[in-house]
Amino acid sequence: MSANRPQARLTIRNIQALRDGGERIAMLTAYDNVTAAVLDQAGIDIILVGDSLGNVVLGHPTTLSVTLDDMIRHGAAVHRGTARALIICDLPFGTATDPETALRSAITVLQQTGCQAVKIEGGAPAAPTITRLREQGIPVMAHIGLMPQAVHQLGGYYVHGKNAESAERLMETALALQHAGAFAIVLECIVPDLAAEITRRLTIPTIGIGSGAACSGQVLVVNDLIGLNIERPPSFVVPRADVAAVIREAACAYVAEVKNASGQSKETQVD
């Protein structure tokens, strides 16, 4: 364990120290108390309570149906399960449309969940919002590239930064959001060479997802990592387990036991 990893809860200063010291930052999503506790025990640096819960927990086709109440409920559960990781909560669609709306949303989230920071999707227009929150003492992680909350405006899910114009715009956006006060930036589905150059130019951490290995750290949806899915995960994810198969096997065995048993099973007998 490095000197930058105290047993007390990590702060944004610790995360910056990891980046400055050349230590990669490990980040995963979590949406419930038990999963968050297990990830915390594993030494995850940052846990994101992502609005991806709309897809992987609530069964929506996009993140757009997720509400602030949803994020607060799940954010509080995650925070209660952890003692060490920095906990960041997404501000969902429609809750950060301007600086004052975002400020009210962020204050509510921090007060009611215990999370330490919020994440906001958006390009250069998000800069004034980030500055406003920073002025009020609220740390903000920015998010550029593929932005699921803007899926309809973007026209789908695809890799960003493939041409010179797009690459220049992403670089300028990253620098603007750093200048506005973001403490880190998620780079989602950005051409790896461009993500590497953005990481080199910035002085704050970059967290990649589907953007190559050169970012300061990486984030994945925990369900993709552990194979707790019905559909196939994104192509850039290599699942480390097949938890869905374990659950399915256990449930099938239980169904067979209940259907075939002549009396109560051992687990259901009352002494």
DSSP state string for the chain: --TT--SSPP-HHHHHHHHHTTPPEEEEE--SHHHHHHHHHHT-SEEEE-TTHHHHTS--SSSTT--HHHHHHHHHHHHHT-SSSEEEEE--TTS-SSHHHHHHHHHHHHHHH--SEEEEE-SGGGHHHHHHHHHTT--EEEEEES-GGGHHHHTS---B--SHHHHHHHHHHHHHHHHHT-SEEEEESB-HHHHHHHHHH-SS-EEEESS-S-SSEEEE-HHHHHT--SSPPPTT---S--HHHHHHHHHHHHHHHHHH-SS--GGG---
Per-residue model confidence (pLDDT) at position 233: 86
- Per-residue pLDDT, averaged over 194-212, amounts to 97
Q: Residue 3 — very low, low, confident or very high, per pLDDT cuts 50/70/90? A: very low
Query: 52 among the known binding-site residues?
Result: yes
Q: Is 78 exposed, middle or buried (0-12, 13-18, 19+ CB in 10 A)?
A: buried
The pair of structure tokens assigned to 150 is 């803007």
Does residue 6 belong to any structural domain of this protein?
Answer: no
Asked, for residue 110, whether it belongs to a domain, the answer is: yes
Is the pLDDT confidence value at 6 over 70?
A: no
Look at residue 248 and tell me if it is in a domain. no
Burial class (CB in 10 A: 0-12, 13-18, 19+), 57: middle
Measured CA to CA, the distance from residue 187 to residue 66 in angstroms comes to: 22
Query: Would residue 253 count as lying in a domain?
Result: no
CA-wise closest residue to 253 among 262, 265, 242, 241: 265
> Is 267 part of a structural domain of the chain?
no
259: amino acid identity, one letter: K
CA 11 from chain center: how many Å? 16
Residue type, 181: G
Rounded average pLDDT over 90-98: 96
- Is 29 inside a domain boundary? yes
**What's the angle, vertex CA 158, arms to CA 153 and CA 163, rounded to 5?**
95
What would the pLDDT profile of 233-264 be if each residue is shown by its tens digit? 888 889 999 999 999 999 999 999 999 975 55
Q: Which two tokens stand for residue 250?
A: 């256990």
* Radius of gyration of the chain measured on its C-alpha atoms: 20
Domain that holds residue 216: 12-241
Q: What does residue 123 show for φ and ψ, rounded to 5 degrees? A: -85, -150
Residue 265, both tokens: 């099973």
Q: Which residue numbers are catalytic? A: 188
pTM: 0.91
Cα→Cα distances 49→103, 213, 259, Å: 18, 23, 39
The first and second tokens of residue 51, run together, are 């609005």
pLDDT tens digit sequence for 102-125 = 999 999 999 999 999 999 999 899
In a domain, 246, yes or no: no
- Report if residue 80 sits inside a domain: yes
| Size of the chain, expressed as the number of residues it contains | 271
Q: For the residues 141-145, what does the mean pLDDT come to? A: 96
Q: Residue 76's domain is classified under what CATH number?
A: 3.20.20.60
Number of domains observed in the structure of the chain = 1
pLDDT tens track for 37-66: 999 999 999 999 999 999 999 999 999 999
Average pLDDT of the chain to the nearest whole number: 92
